């Protein structure tokens, strides 16, 4: 579920699926898209803080949904529209990341304008461990932030990095020793006192500068094609059985 808490000039959105470490199933992603669409038109909300409950930000996408999905289903997947709606949010978005932000969870955090990492934060794109790849902008945004070498390191090996490494690589705007949430909330309050039209225009300009030449459609097409492979089926089966996958390249 998604918990919405209006504050003075800003809103806190909390991912809360304790049974799945806040994994982003379609229902939760749809709730996020709906909330962002509504808050975009709410003059009383000038910024949003996005965080996770139960000690984690989001453990990734919902494996159960991906397991039975092929490229045909993925081509008409409502998740694509949900992701687009979240990215289209025109107001400042601050992500407070404690615990894990992996796979789709990290891709969601990468859509934030300001990313705050707490002391327990660990981020990564481990999808290749499962025979698939990031499909919601992760390869593109991560490369834009950290460069080719580090993006290849994280995506091809599935490496999960800690908060200190993520800050050193330019992924985070802030890193704190304790929880990320108080710092994120202080930032949102500070932003909410600034000129809202200027903030929207400035955000749009920075997003255009940082994402204008990225190939999100190509990434998504490659992700969808992998859903029909035997390696994808083996990767997810091995994940459930808690063993090392045996990939065959087909």
What's the CA gap between 104 and 138, in Å, rounded? Answer: 8
What's the CA gap between 96 and 94, in Å, rounded? Answer: 7
Q: What is the pTM of this model?
A: 0.93
**pLDDT for position 236:** 80
**pLDDT for position 250:** 85
Phi and psi angles of residue 61, each rounded to the nearest 5 degrees, phi first:
-80, 170
Each residue's pLDDT tens digit in the chain (250 positions)? 999 999 999 999 999 999 999 999 999 999 999 999 999 999 999 999 999 999 999 999 887 888 777 878 777 889 999 999 999 999 999 999 999 999 999 999 999 999 999 999 999 999 999 999 999 999 999 999 999 999 999 999 999 999 999 999 999 999 999 999 999 999 999 999 999 999 999 999 999 999 988 888 898 898 889 989 989 888 888 888 889 888 888 8
Alpha helices in 76-147 (DSSP H): 78-87, 104-110, 138-146
How is the chain split among helix, strand and coil, in percent rounded to 5? 50, 15, 35
**pLDDT for position 203:** 95
**pLDDT for position 235:** 84
Name the active-site residue from 61, 101, 136, 188. Answer: 61
What's the CA gap between 120 and 175, in Å, rounded? Answer: 10
Q: What's the number of CA atoms in the CB half-sphere (13 Å) around residue 155?
A: 22
Residue 65's H or E segment, with its range, is helix 63-67
Chain centroid to CA 181? 16
Name the active-site residue from 31, 47, 105, 107. Answer: 107
**pLDDT for position 73:** 79
CATH homologous superfamily, domain 2-177:
2-enoyl-CoA Hydratase; Chain A, domain 1 (3.90.226.10)
**pLDDT for position 27:** 96
Task: Identify the DSSP state of 122.
Answer: E
**pLDDT for position 183:** 98
Residue 104 annotated among the catalytic residues of the structure:
yes
pLDDT tens profile 78-127:
999 999 999 999 999 999 999 999 999 999 999 999 999 999 999 999 99
Name the active-site residue from 60, 103, 104, 235. Answer: 104
What's the CA gap between 19 and 21, in Å, rounded? Answer: 6
96-124 per-residue burial string, b: 16 or more CB within 10 A, e: under 16: bbbbbbbbbbbbbbbbbbbbbbbebbbbb
**pLDDT for position 223:** 85
CA 31 vs CA 15, 65, 70, 82, 222: distances in Å: 10, 17, 24, 9, 26
Give the start-to-end residue ranges of the domains of the chain: 2-177
**pLDDT for position 234:** 85
Residue 43 annotated among the catalytic residues of the structure:
no
**pLDDT for position 193:** 96
Q: What's the number of CA atoms in the CB half-sphere (13 Å) around residue 197?
A: 0
Name the active-site residue from 59, 112, 127, 185. Answer: 127
**pLDDT for position 76:** 81
pLDDT tens profile 153-170:
999 999 999 999 999 999
Residue 127 annotated among the catalytic residues of the structure:
yes
CB 245 within 8 A of CB 131: yes
Residue 119 annotated among the catalytic residues of the structure:
no
């Amino acid at each position: 579920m998604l918990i919405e808490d209006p504050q003075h000039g800003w809103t806190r959105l909390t991912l809360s699926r304790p049974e799945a470490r806040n994994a982003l199933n379609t229902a939760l992603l749809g709730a996020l898209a709906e909330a962002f669409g509504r808050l975009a038109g709410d003059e009383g909300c000038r910024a949003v803080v996005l965080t996770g409950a139960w000690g984690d930000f989001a453990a990734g996408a919902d494996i159960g949904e991906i397991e039975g999905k092929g490229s045909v289903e993925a081509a008409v997947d409502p998740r694509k529209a949900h992701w687009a709606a979240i990215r289209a949010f025109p107001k400042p978005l601050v992500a407070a990341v404690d615990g894990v932000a992996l796979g789709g969870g990290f891709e969601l955090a990468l859509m934030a304008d300001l990313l705050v990492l707490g002391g327990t934060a660990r981020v990564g794109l481990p999808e290749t461990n499962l025979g698939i790849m990031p499909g919601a902008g992760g390869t593109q945004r991560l490369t834009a932030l950290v460069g080719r070498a580090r993006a290849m390191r994280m995506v091809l090996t599935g490496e999960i990095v800690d908060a200190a490494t993520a800050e050193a690589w330019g992924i985070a705007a802030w890193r704190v020793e304790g929880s990320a949430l108080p710092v994120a909330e202080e930032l949102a309050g500070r932003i909410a006192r600034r000129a809202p039209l200027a903030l929207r225009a400035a955000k749009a300009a920075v997003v255009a500068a940082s994402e204008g030449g990225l190939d999100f459609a190509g990434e998504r097409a490659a992700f969808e094609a992998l859903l029909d492979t035997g390696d994808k089926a083996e990767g997810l089966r091995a994940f459930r059985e808690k063993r090392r996958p045996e990939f065959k390249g087909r």
